[in-house]
């Protein structure tokens, strides 16, 4: 990907709705000298998202905008992204489907992480459903975002083994650990690809 403003590092925006543990791992990775990106903007559609505090702690420009509700707010977000020369938008626990005009304006430049081996278990409560279906494996997937829920082209998946003692909570923990490792690496991979 070509850097949009000729700077040394790529600029990324992270969209969140909740606690922001993936956001944190993405920021932490960016602090290494070798990292090719900066987290320039954090946008939350929830006012009380814990991830906003993480953004503040790291002095990252952050906004609460529930933009999926209105086109006017969506355009406001697009303007913020353009003004900040955002090369890639990373959804990390962002719990809303993006409107299609928004996806069009950042076509091929929006990615998401989902806690299952897509195309299995799209949507919410993945770990609970995986356990009640007696699956032997689960995992996480990073994929491009299109206008259908959790359905864009898959970039990377990692498997996690489910033991007999596992429950939804323990699986969430195992899967999150893997998410934190792979998401920053996928971001680098996407940005470094011409
Ligand atoms: C993660 O499991 C992510 O895969 C899913 O939502 C969760 C967000 O967790 N989309 P966090 O806010 O990054 O801690």
Atom of ligand 1 nearest to the CA of 17: 12
Which atom in ligand 1 lies closest to the alpha carbon of residue 16? 12
Question: Domain limits of the chain?
Answer: 2-192
Of 64, 72, 19, nearest to 45 by C-alpha is 64
In angstroms, the CA 27 to CA 42 distance is 10
From 17, 45, 115, the mutation candidate for ligand 1 (largest count of ligand atoms within 8 A of CB) is 115
DSSP collapsed to 3 states, 106-160: CCCCEEEEECCCCCCCCCCCHHHHHHHCCCCEEEEEEEECCCCCCCCCEEEEEEE
pTM of the model: 0.95
The values of phi and psi at residue 103, to 5°, are -60, -40
Catalogue the active-site residues: 114
Q: 2-192 belongs to which homologous superfamily?
A: Formyl transferase, N-terminal domain (3.40.50.170)
Pairwise CA distance, residues 16 & 66, whole Å:
11
Task: List pLDDT tens digits, range 100-158.
Answer: 999 999 989 999 999 999 999 999 999 999 999 999 999 999 999 998 999 999 999 99
Task: Quote the CA–CA distance of 191 and 28 in Å, as a whole number.
Answer: 17
SS3 11: strand
Ligand 1 centre from 22 Cα, in Å?
A: 6
In tens, the pLDDT along 54-90 reads 999 999 999 999 998 799 999 999 999 999 999 999 9
């Amino acid at each position: 990907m070509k850097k949009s403003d000729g700077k040394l590092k790529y600029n990324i925006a992270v969209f969140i709705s909740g606690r922001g543990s993936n956001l944190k791992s993405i920021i932490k990775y960016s602090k290494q000298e070798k990292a090719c990106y900066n987290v320039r903007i954090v946008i939350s559609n929830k006012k009380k998202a814990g991830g906003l505090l993480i953004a503040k702690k790291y002095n990252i420009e952050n906004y609460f905008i529930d933009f999926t509700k209105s086109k006017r707010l969506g355009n406001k977000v697009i303007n913020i992204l353009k003004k900040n020369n955002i090369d890639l938008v990373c959804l990390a626990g962002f719990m809303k489907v993006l409107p299609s005009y928004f996806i069009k304006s950042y076509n091929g430049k929006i990615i998401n992480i989902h806690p299952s081996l897509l195309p299995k278990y799209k949507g919410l409560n993945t770990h609970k459903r995986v356990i009640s279906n007696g699956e032997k494996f689960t995992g996480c997937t990073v994929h491009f975002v299109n206008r259908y829920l959790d359905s864009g082209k898959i970039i990377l998946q990692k498997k996690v083994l489910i033991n007999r003692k596992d429950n939804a909570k323990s699986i969430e923990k195992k899967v999150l650990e893997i998410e934190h490792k792979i998401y920053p690496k996928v971001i680098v991979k996407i940005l470094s690809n011409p």
